[in-house]
Amino acid sequence: MSKSAKYIFVTGGVASSLGKGIISASLAKLLQARGYSVTIQKLDPYLNIDPGTLNPYEHGECYVTEDGAETDLDLGHYERFLNIPTSQANNVTTGRIYQSVISKERKGEYLGKTVQVIPHITNEIKEHIQILGNKGDYDFIITEIGGTVGDIESLPFIEAIRQLKWEHHEQVLFIHLTLIPYLAASEELKTKPTQHSVKTLLEYGVQPDILVCRTEHHLNKEIRTKVARFCNVELESVIESIDAETIYDVPLLMQEEKLDEVVLKHLNMPLNSLVDLDKWKEFLHHHKNPIQEVEIGLVGKYVELKDSYKSITEAFIHAGAAKECKVNLKWIASDDLTSESIEEELKGLSGILVAPGFGTRGIEGKIKAVKFARENNIPFLGICLGMQCAVIEYARNVLKLEDAHTVEIKKSAINPVIAMMENQKDISDLGGTMRLGAYACQIKEPSFAYNAYQNTLISERHRHRFEFNNNYLKEFEAKGMKATGINPENNLVEIIEIPKHPWFVGVQFHPEYKSTVINPHPIFLGFVNAAINH
């Protein structure tokens, strides 16, 4: 283990969805604000190699990194909080660990040995945990262990971190995030589930150093003392995590509770008294005190589960705060949009966003939504599949190309205005095979995109198999839809616009992945601005 890096492991107990990702990101933010370099990693206990093949209903949004890793949505929070990119090394699943061990076994790397969970799987986990630390770039690596303590699936991870603590005692810290439920009938906060959860951890040989306690009501001294005493932690290491109005409050709440100070004390690191959170606080002030509001429709097929579009909703929060404007999202299920219902659903909106996606369901609704935005001069942003729908709509209704479609949905389309990318044609596996990660894009002037970026060369992240069919480009441009962003290497159309429209932009890439608190994304800023002006 590299001597310079400190490792902080965050486990969860009692219940899932307590917000380990937000606590990890908040602690990282506070350490960063004290001048430390920090990164966050997530270990996910499922057998998929990555979440790229998971339906958003299963696991929420799939977040894509600069280096093209398809990852857990928590990595989005890490980037949004810290304003530094993550990478493949920041998200590791059980599937990836097993894949690596099994491929080593086939190569004969363990020749003569029985390959077992302990030590082979746990060693592999330990190696993956240390990849980031060994780079020498970070003072702290915060590793979030997915799942809840006690789950069969996460046992090898817990065993691996137990060993790391045993081997590198002074470099490793354990934080356990737990729940203190409130019983309304007896008006009491209950510590027993936390005691049990810590007991389970102790059975595995892990003694948490710090307990972060999620609660709906403040923890008084008595409760804190009780938790400290029964769970073998110091009183100052019992940290209250009260329900917050927004996730962006959590770093400040953790600061009030001195989580960062307690962590640094445990790890014998200097406090570095300067805590620079000015920009964060300014953002929060604008976010909470908007001077105007707009309503933007988000047309997608997973609108019942808002986590499916996590980065998009957060990007609106960042851009909204920068414009001192509250963006209210109206969630519109694309399957339900019919010629009869569309007027009712979309009228009065200040902007319409058609979301990314895959497959047939809801696509005709998305195309109808584009048409409505185009014909009624409502600011429009289409992302990935949303951009492709804008192209199909224009082809059908303006170019009068009957049967225009994407070959993703209609292989035999007479007018395949969205076609499969050339280098995708021989690929048969679905996992990790799309065009993924950051690619350059040349922006033409004048354009909405240039106005937004104020730059002619940008880089954005991708996740797609299909593209604008350049055979139709001349015809589109002649009829008023322009390609204003082009990949300089292969001419792939990255941005389309209708210059005659007040603000109509379709992007093949995903701007939402790069929006952060400190750097709201130019495309979202442009879109929100257009919505305000509408």
**Contacts to ligand GLN by CB under 6 A:** 356-358, 384-385, 408, 463-466
Distance CA 525, CA 260 (A): 33
Q: How far is the CB of 51 from ligand GLN (least distance, A)?
A: 14
Closer CB to ligand GLN, residue 140 or residue 509?
Answer: 509
Closer CB to ligand GLN, residue 351 or residue 382?
Answer: 382
Q: How far is the CB of 385 from ligand GLN (least distance, A)?
A: 4
Q: Is 73 helix (H, G, I), strand (E, B) or coil?
A: coil
The residue from 120, 128, 176, 510 that is catalytic is 510
Q: How far is the CB of 485 from ligand GLN (least distance, A)?
A: 16
Closer CB to ligand GLN, residue 448 or residue 468?
Answer: 468
Q: How far is the CB of 30 from ligand GLN (least distance, A)?
A: 34
Closer CB to ligand GLN, residue 144 or residue 512?
Answer: 512
Closer CB to ligand GLN, residue 38 or residue 419?
Answer: 419
List, in sequence order, every residue forming a beta bridge with 460; answer none if it has no partner. 439
Biggest distance spanned by C-alpha atoms of the chain:
75
**Can 325 be counted among the known catalytic residues?**
no
Q: H or E stretch including 527?
A: helix 522-533
Q: How far is the CB of 492 from ligand GLN (least distance, A)?
A: 11
- The per-residue DSSP string of 461-483 comes to EEEESEEE-GGGHHHHHHTT-EE
- The per-residue DSSP string of 22-68 comes to HHHHHHHHHHHHTT--EEEEEEE-SSSSSGGGS-HHHHSPPEE-TT-
Closest by Cα among 361, 357, 370 to 396: 370
**Can 510 be counted among the known catalytic residues?**
yes
**Which residues fall within 8 angstroms of residue 186, CB to CB, at 6 or more apart?**
none
The residue from 467, 494, 497, 512 that is catalytic is 512
- The per-residue DSSP string of 338-370 comes to -TTTHHHHHTT-SEEEEPP--SSTTHHHHHHHH
Closest by Cα among 91, 37, 31 to 63: 91
List, in sequence order, every residue forming a beta bridge with 173; answer none if it has no partner. 8
Closer CB to ligand GLN, residue 210 or residue 395?
Answer: 395
The residue from 384, 408, 464, 467 that is catalytic is 384
Structure tokens that stand for 147 in this block: 């799942």
Q: How far is the CB of 353 from ligand GLN (least distance, A)?
A: 12
In contact, 81 and 252? CB cutoff 8 Å: no
Is-cis flag, bond preceding 520, omega within 30? no
Active site residues: 384, 510, 512
